[in-house]
Structure 1
């Protein structure tokens, strides 16, 4: 084999080219391996970051679900409380209405009575009532209405009689108020009259005949009621 000093320039150039190719190949291989490792590390970092984000999102979602469940439970409790309150208010309103009706009925003052078939011989007689059909406040005792509370009252008397030219007075204490006067045919007499009057506690209202010998048919009636 020729020594390097005896090599031709062409051979020297060829050997130099081969050496360069070998060195360049090794350098390329090392560069490729390095790039591959960097790529792998980048892939690992990217995968780790995505996984971490997914875990964080799952935790946030669970927290939101927990909060939503708590709020739903609270809303149900509030709704139940509102329903119970509404039911109680409804019952209270009904009770108040019932109590109001009972109170109104208890405090109502008025009466209606029939006047039994009777002939009265004196104008000083007080005309009796029986049976008593209604007696709110128990202010009518069968002969006299005694005012239990001050206010405006309305009284009415309807008379059926076979007595000619006679009638009934409505009295307040000793004062004559209005007269139901029946005249004409003794077989068909009838009359009615009303009186609105202010009464104070203790004032009395009652009926008296206009004249003596007044016959009253049993279908006659006397009514009084507090209107204000």
Structure 2
């Protein structure tokens, strides 16, 4: 065989080309394998990233569902509390209405009155008139006489302011004198007060008469009666 120095230029070129092809083939194969491995790793990373994102989204969704359930439960509790409060308020309104009706019935059945007194009287047989009736439970006082609507113990009170000296007022039951409010002279007015507790039957009458005449009353004098038992 010829030595390398004796090779023709054509043979040298041919050998060089073969060597390059061999080296290039090895490099190409190595490069292809490398690219394939990189692609495989890239596919694995992409798959891993998508799976991780799906897991994260599922966890977020579960958290949202949990929060939604908690808020729904809280809203139900609040709604239940509101319903209970509304129900209690409704009961309170009904109770207030009932209490108001009971109070109204009590006021309707309560027997008693208060009236202011005034006027001038020229006879001790005159009945003193009420000028302004402030209260008249049971409508038993007509501005002149109190007529007993039901049997029981009653209390009557009269307070006198008079320009007359001396002067006073008798409390009468039917034709019976009960008690006297007698005023001595203390300028410019005489003043006195008296009470009487008395048992009355249905139809008994209580009223006022002057102690003396002529007799004149100041407008702030008053007469009160009430059933106590």
**Does TM, scored on the shorter chain, surpass 0.5?**
yes
Aligned counterpart, 2:201: 200
Give the count of matched residue pairs: 150
TM-score w.r.t. length of structure 1: 0.59
Q: Do 2:119 and 2:129's aligned partners in 1 also have CA atoms closer than 8 Å?
A: no
SS at match of 2:131: coil
CA distance in 1, matches of 2:196, 2:100: 33
SS in 2 for 1:225: strand
Find the partner of 1:97 among 99, 104, 110: 99
- 5+ unaligned residues in a row in structure 1: which ranges? 1-78
Counterparts of 2:189 and 2:129, CA distance in 1: 22
Q: Report the aligned-residue RMSD.
A: 2.4
The residue number in structure 2 matching 1:123 is 124
1:161/1:186 contact within 8 Å kept: no
Pair 1:92–1:165, CA change in 2 (3 A) = same
Q: Distance in 1 between matches of 2:219 and 2:119?
A: 4
SS of aligned partner of 1:211: coil
The equivalent of 1:225 in structure 2 is 226
Q: CA offsets per residue over residues 51-77 of structure 1, 9 Å max, x none? A: xxxxxxxxxxxxxxxxxxxxxxxxxxx
Uncovered stretches (5+) of structure 2, i.e. residues with no partner: 1-79
Q: 1:185 to 1:86 in 2, by over 3 A?
A: closer
Residue-by-residue CA offset, 1:158-215 (whole Å, 9 max, x unaligned): 1111211221000011111110001133533100111111111111000001122112
Which of the numbers 105, 109, 112 marks the counterpart of 1:110?
Answer: 112
Looking at structure 1, the residues matched to 175 and 228 of structure 2 have their Cα atoms a distance apart, in angstroms, of 23
Q: Deviations over 1:99-131 (max 9, x none)?
A: 21111011111111111232x111111001111
Q: Is 2:136 the partner of 1:158?
A: no
Q: Residue in 2 aligned with 1:216?
A: 217
Aligned counterparts of 1:222 and 1:196: Cα–Cα separation in 2: 14
Secondary structure at 2:130 match in 1: coil
Write out aligned runs for 1:31-110 (5 A).
Answer: 90=92, 92-110=94-112
How far apart are the structure 2 equivalents of 1:91 and 1:113? 35
